[in-house]
Amino acid sequence: MLSNANFRTAFKATVPILFGYVSIGIPFGLMSVSTGYPWWLAPLMSLVVFSGTAQYLAIALFASGILAGTSFWTTLTTFLGIEFFVGLRHIFYSLSFIKKYEGTGKWKLPLIYTLSDETYALISDIQVPEDANKGEFYAAISLLDYSYWFIGTLVGSVAGQFIPAGYLDGVDFALTALFIVLMINQIRTSKDWVPSVVGVITACVAVALSYINVNGKPILPSQHIILVGLSLGIAAIIFVKGVFGKKTETTNTDKNSSREEK
């Protein structure tokens, strides 16, 4: 068992995540209730899905009615495709944690399930106390973060039952705000503006295609905007990175050759 001292160390390390998850989880709970879903749905999603971006996107997608009228398989394929691209980064998180999670024993599966962006960032840098079991210490961090997100959505869902409907208008903008903050943070951290610019351009292209009619029908049906936009964005980023990456390598090679000649 993890000692009280080591648990306090884990808790202190996760306090910033506590404030972040609760402040984002409450609007998610409010948003879920404001769109007509039962209060228990948001906490249940937080327990089963545990992905803020995916959960916000799911509620917004179904509440918007963009998939209304489509067949079950079309709806399922579109939804799973969107969520796959949204969560694609976690594959790379997991690959980089293969060695870090070695020897965690019975805690390995819970650690894999509860791995999130913030948990990944924290565990990447934190030092395990000398007298602590690595699996238990990492699990304490992961499960604390998991509980913060659940508590936030639970508070928002319950509060939404007592707040008049008119006061909840605009809560769904929390999803847009979340993505904007993530984009700004990504640019500031990586100093790479290419993915963000490509994302904005491809999203605009996808939306524009849905407004262009050929023989009375739009080129791109509205229910496919998000999936097509994500696909175009990924393809464009791969192309841009491939072209400019090769140019950068060629330039660096030429510079190194010039230095060697001198």
Percent of all residues in the chain with a pLDDT value above 70, rounded to a whole number: 82
Most confident range, picked from 71-75, 106-110, 221-225: 106-110
Q: Mean pLDDT, to the nearest integer, of 225-239?
A: 81
Confidence tier at 194 by pLDDT (50, 70, 90): confident
DSSP 128: P
Say if residue 258's pLDDT is above 60.
no
Confidence tier at 261 by pLDDT (50, 70, 90): low
Chain mean pLDDT for the chain: 82
Predicted local confidence at residue 150, as pLDDT = 97
Window from 71-80, 182-191, 200-209, 227-236 with minimum mean pLDDT = 182-191
- Ordered by start, the domain boundaries in the chain are 4-191, 192-262
Helices (DSSP H) in the chain: which residue ranges?
Answer: 4-34, 41-48, 52-64, 72-86, 89-96, 108-113, 117-125, 134-160, 173-190, 194-211, 225-261
Confidence tier at 134 by pLDDT (50, 70, 90): very high
For the stretch 143-188, pLDDT in tens is 999 999 999 999 999 998 988 767 777 666 765 776 677 677 667 7
Window from 29-38, 69-78, 99-108 with minimum mean pLDDT = 69-78
Predicted local confidence at residue 159, as pLDDT = 93
Q: What is the 3-state secondary structure (H, E, C) of 184-233?
A: HHHHHHHCCCHHHHHHHHHHHHHHHHHHCEECCEECCCHHHHHHHHHHHH
Of 29, 31, 64, the closest CA to residue 172 belongs to 31
Predicted local confidence at residue 43, as pLDDT = 95
Say if residue 262's pLDDT is above 60.
no
Q: Which two tokens stand for residue 118?
A: 């913030």
